[in-house]
Amino acid sequence: MVTLLQDRQVPARPGSAPGTVRVGDRELQPTPVFDTYWRFASARQAVYEARLARRAQPWTDD
């Protein structure tokens, strides 16, 4: 698990994707790779925002 500043967390979900996602009138079933990518992107964005706000390091615990 990656713990970010401001108690943001991106929990690990090894081998599992979220349930069905509805986009408009379509139902999509995300893959584990898709889920992992967006978890990574979310964590990276949080670090970027912490840097922009000039918060003290470290921005993650790993």
Residue-wise pLDDT tens digits, 5-29: 444 454 545 555 567 888 889 988 8
Question: Across all residues in the chain, what is the average pLDDT?
Answer: 78
DSSP class of 11: -
- Tell me the pTM: 0.57
The CA distances from residue 40 to 1, 3, 25, 44, 57, in Å, are 11, 12, 27, 6, 19
In this prediction, residue 6 carries a pLDDT of 45
Query: Quick one: pLDDT at residue 4?
Result: 47
CA–CA separation, 46 and 24 (whole Å): 28
Residue 34 has pLDDT above 70, yes or no: yes
